[in-house]
């Protein structure tokens, strides 16, 4: 039988798996976690959307009419970046109260904390609604693992009555995140020799007019009281093959972040109309809806009470600026209440010398235990 490490030790072990995406290679890490969870009585299933791209779904089912509580986090991490690290990104060194390494904040500390918490409470779980742990691959490049198991539905995910997403929030509970609509737009022209531009049609000039219009684009969507307004950013631009030719193709990538009430299909139609006739084509690269749970929801209020006690400060409704796997999992579970709550620091996500405070990992494990206990203690009234 494997010995279950505590949350901090388990974070260190997970960081030591190189799961940089691309390519990901989450399989070994997922299998390691699956072995630990099986050793304490969990049922474990694996799903792969590509070779070695493994998502783990672990369940500990009890009894009663109340649905289990879901925890989710991802195993893949972003590339190391261009700036040199002052520490080994996969050594998981602990120094001055910080645990360093790629993924320490985003989200291996969160995964470790809920795995350790659930394992510690396994006997309670077997006597109540239980839990389901959805530990995904491929989140950083479009939540491929989460969407795969979401498509499989109850056959893979089972049921859940609420979701805790272990993304980095510094352990502050958040009740939603903005949606993401990433679009590729392109223009066409007619090539000609650079010395005779009048004989061609310049696709970059067309695109420059589109970019100028996008800077002035106004969303016909009211701002959200917590998430604020929708935003649009032109993040990439390219075009042309060589300096002495009229370019016949230009392309941009735009990042739109949306709030509840935004209809992505209508938004794409509005953009096409607004950018005509210069626009040649549009393709959605990522299309994730926003996630929002009413802060007055009973379970949300229970979590707020728990976290106010742990953090020793009042909790006000807040939302994450980034998207999460909840974009796939919350609809798959029928729109259940969802809270984003993890020990990582959002300022540390994707940064050189990424770290997580050791005390925050311990705090998250305690918070997850309290959330599980409350879920089970109120199961008779659900």
- DSSP per residue, 187-254: EE-B--BTT-GGGSB-HHHHHHHHHHHHHT----SPPBTTTB--EEEEEEEEE-S-TTB--SEEEEEE
In angstroms, rounded to a whole number, what is the distance separating the alpha carbons of residues 299 and 277?
A: 50
Cα torsion angle, 107, 112, 115, 116, sign: negative
Cα torsion angle, 333, 337, 341, 346, sign: positive
Active-site hit among 120, 139, 167, 354? 139
Active-site hit among 76, 120, 167, 248? 76
Beta strands 162-165 and 338-340, pairing class = parallel
Q: Does 139 qualify as catalytic in the annotation?
A: yes
Which runs of E-coded beta strand occur in the chain? 43-50, 53-60, 69-74, 94-95, 98-100, 131-136, 162-165, 176-177, 179-188, 231-239, 249-258, 281-288, 291-292, 338-340, 355-357
Distance (Å) of CA 48 to CA 44, 56, 365: 14, 9, 28
**Angle made by CA atoms 153, 155, 160, in degrees to the nearest 5:** 65
Q: Does 255 qualify as catalytic in the annotation?
A: no
Q: Give me the sheet containing 249-258, strands edge to edge.
A: 231-239, 249-258, 179-188, 281-288
In angstroms, rounded to a whole number, what is the distance separating the alpha carbons of residues 66 and 375?
A: 9
Active site residues: 76, 139
């Amino acid at each position: 039988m494997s010995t279950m490490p505590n949350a901090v030790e388990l974070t260190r072990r997970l960081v030591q798996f190189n799961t940089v995406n691309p390519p990901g290679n989450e399989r070994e890490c997922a299998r390691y976690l699956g072995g630990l969870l099986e050793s304490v009585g969990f049922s474990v299933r694996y799903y792969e959307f590509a070779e070695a791209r493994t998502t783990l779904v672990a369940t500990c089912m009890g009894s009663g009419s109340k649905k289990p509580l879901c925890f989710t986090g991802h195993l893949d991490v972003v590339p190391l970046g261009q700036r040199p690290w002052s520490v080994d990104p996969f050594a998981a060194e602990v120094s001055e109260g910080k645990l360093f390494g790629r993924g320490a904040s985003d989200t291996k500390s969160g995964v470790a904390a809920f795995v350790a918490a659930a394992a510690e409470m396994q006997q309670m779980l077997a006597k109540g609604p239980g839990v389901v742990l959805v530990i995904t691959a491929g989140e950083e490049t479009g939540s491929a693992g989460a969407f795969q198991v979401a498509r499989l539905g109850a056959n893979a995910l089972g049921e859940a009555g609420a979701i805790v997403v272990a993304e980095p929030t510094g352990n502050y509970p958040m009740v939603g995140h903005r949606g993401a609509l990433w679009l590729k737009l392109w223009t066409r022209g007619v090539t000609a020799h650079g010395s005779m531009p009048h004989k061609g049609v310049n696709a970059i000039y067309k695109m420059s007019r589109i970019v100028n219009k996008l800077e002035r684009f106004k969303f016909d969507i009211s701002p959200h009281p917590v998430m604020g307004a929708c935003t649009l950013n032109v993040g990439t631009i390219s075009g042309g093959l060589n300096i002495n030719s009229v370019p016949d193709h230009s392309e941009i990538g735009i990042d739109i972040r949306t709030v509840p009430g935004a209809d992505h299909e209508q938004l794409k139609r509005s953009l096409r109309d607004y950018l005509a006739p210069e626009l040649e084509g549009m393709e959605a690269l990522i299309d994730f809806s926003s996630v929002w749970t009413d802060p007055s929801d009973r379970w949300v209020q229970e979590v707020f009470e728990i976290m106010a006690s742990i953090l020793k400060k009042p909790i006000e409704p807040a939302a994450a600026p980034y998207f999460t796997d909840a974009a796939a999992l919350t609809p798959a579970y029928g729109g259940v209440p969802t809270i984003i709550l993890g020990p990582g620091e959002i300022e540390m996500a994707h940064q050189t010398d990424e770290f997580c405070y050791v005390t925050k990992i311990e705090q998250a494990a305690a918070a997850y235990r309290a959330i599980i206990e409350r879920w089970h203690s109120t199961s008779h009234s659900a």
